[in-house]
Every structure is written in C-alpha cells, then in structure tokens.
Amino acid sequence: MEKQTNYKVLSFKEYGDERGNLVVAEGSGLDVPFDIKRVFYMYGSDSDIIRGNHANRYTHFVLINVCGSSKVLVDDGNNKEVIILDKPRMGLYLGPMVWKEMYDFSPDSVLLVLASEHYIEGEYIRDYSLFIKEIDSKKD
C-alpha cells in the first residue's frame, strides 16, 4: 500500500538534439498541478546553508533544480523524506502544509520555484512546533 503524502516527484518532458536540450513544464494542471502566479529562484547558496525552514498554509510549489543539485527535506507531519533534485527534468511538487528545508546545494545550483500564490507573509509557518500543532489539530 502506497503511503499518502502531500508531495511527489514530477518528471517533465525533455527534448534534445545536436542543438542541446529543452525541458517543458506547463501549468494549469498539464505538468504543474496549478496555475503559476509566482516564480523565484535561489542560487549562490553554500552547501552548508539551509534554506526554507517553513511550511505554507495555502500555497502549492514545484521545485526544479535547473542547474546543479540540492536536497530537500520534506515533512508533512506524518512522513519525512529527503528528495535529491539533480536533473533539470525533475520537479518536486509540495502541497500546502509541507515543511521544507533545502540544503546541500552544489556550487552551480540554481533552484527554480513555481508557486500557486503571490507572496503572503501571513500564510508562512516558520516555527516547526507550531507546524506540528496545526497538523495535529486537523487530525481531530
């Protein structure tokens, strides 16, 4: 029986020929399971730096390491897993209420993030104990 999680690895279409490679990720439920409202990317992070350290109450994300690699610790309150993002055709979908920590960035890492919502500070949970408390309150 497969465990139920609020995250999953995605594989995007990749095309290549003598000119190089092209990866396609379309929103609106085609490849990315939401309409994309915000795009941002991280680069220049040292391998010992941890980014993220938060959960979001409403926003869905897809993370894609378009260059280099990084690791993502995902925690939905029931399951913890480390996902290695090391292929430009690979994405990581994160639904709402998933704690995320990105780390172990390669020197050439560029981590692209697609988001379903514009930035809303109030929907961020930056305290892990509060995150667990909110997860537990939804189990009742």
Catalytic residues: 54
Q: How far apart are CA 135 and CA 81, in angstroms?
A: 17
Q: What does the alpha-carbon distance between residue 112 and residue 62 come to, in Å, rounded to a whole number?
A: 8
Residues belonging to the chain: 140
Question: Rounded to an integer, what distance in angstroms lies between the CA atom of residue 87 and that of residue 69?
Answer: 7
**Residue 119 buriedness (CB in 10 A; 0-12 / 13-18 / 19+):** exposed
How does strand 70-75 pair with strand 99-103? antiparallel
Apex 115 CA angle, 109 and 119, nearest 5: 105
